[in-house]
Amino acid sequence: MTPRDDQLTVAPPAPAMDALAYEAPYLIEKLVKERIVETADEAEALFAEAKKYIVLVRCDGTHIWEMHSLRVDEAWHQFVLFTKQYTEFCERFFGRYVHHSPSNAPEVALPPPVPVATFAQFRERYEELFGSPLPDVWHDHRNVTTTRRVTNPRAGVLALRHAGDMVDLVTLDGTALMSVNEFATDALEFIARTGAFYVRELPGGLTDDEKVALVSTLIEYRILRAAG
């Protein structure tokens, strides 16, 4: 897909901004029911940001705007699964189907190539477009609590390597992903082999604050994914 003229605008047309008021109670219910979020309010917050992301990438083709939150992306993905409603949403507000993608990158870049925006540029464009600060929901690692459910897509293919009073989380080829104090060994072993768990389940005698700090770091490094 190559950029179209309507993708190169920097000010969204009214129909696109109207998308922000679109409500999808069926999606909110699903996000809660499948424990992707803890509360309906959290689901509404994620959906609001997913809509804003779609508006931004559809209305400003001056950059490739990457998706910086796996949780916002999951809300978008779940919306897409309601095929009829999502298609109607896209056609009503954008005039065409908007494919779910982690960025608005064209499949074939035209010269000059469209630059990939940094997170700082994304934040600046977001705040300019919507007139409000980028909320914390875009920082997955800042939204960790002991009741947060997280997933590990690489469960079973990670290992631990001890080095003095530190322990490394490594891939099977020995690449170190992060290092922590050895007191977190039991928790890290649990994480390496477990596909999904609640933060509170981490073993090893860690305090709640230590559990949150460990998982937050792993999410920030994109080793774990925050779920509900």
Residue 109: predicted pLDDT = 46
Residue 121: predicted pLDDT = 96
3-state secondary structure of 1: coil
**Do residues 138 and 50 lie in contact, with contact meaning Cβ atoms separated by under 8 Å?**
no
Residue 2: predicted pLDDT = 31
Distances (CA, A) of 47 to 17, 44, 53, 55, 184: 15, 5, 10, 12, 35
Residue 228: predicted pLDDT = 57
Residue 198: predicted pLDDT = 93
Cis bond upstream, residue 112 (ω within 30): yes
Q: Specify the DSSP class assigned to residue 184.
A: G
Mean pLDDT per 10-residue interval, the chain, length 228 residues: 40 76 97 90 96 93 91 94 97 92 51 83 96 94 89 92 91 90 93 94 95 93 82
Residue ranges and CATH numbers for the domains of the chain are 5-138 (no CATH), 149-226 (3.90.930.40)
Tokens representing 84? 């009829």
Q: The whole model's pTM is what?
A: 0.75
Residue 42: predicted pLDDT = 93
Segment (H or E) for 40: helix 40-59
CA 117 to chain centre: 16
**Do residues 110 and 187 lie in contact, with contact meaning Cβ atoms separated by under 8 Å?**
no
Residue 203: predicted pLDDT = 95
**Do residues 161 and 113 lie in contact, with contact meaning Cβ atoms separated by under 8 Å?**
no
Q: Give the C-alpha separation, 215 to 218, whole Å.
A: 5
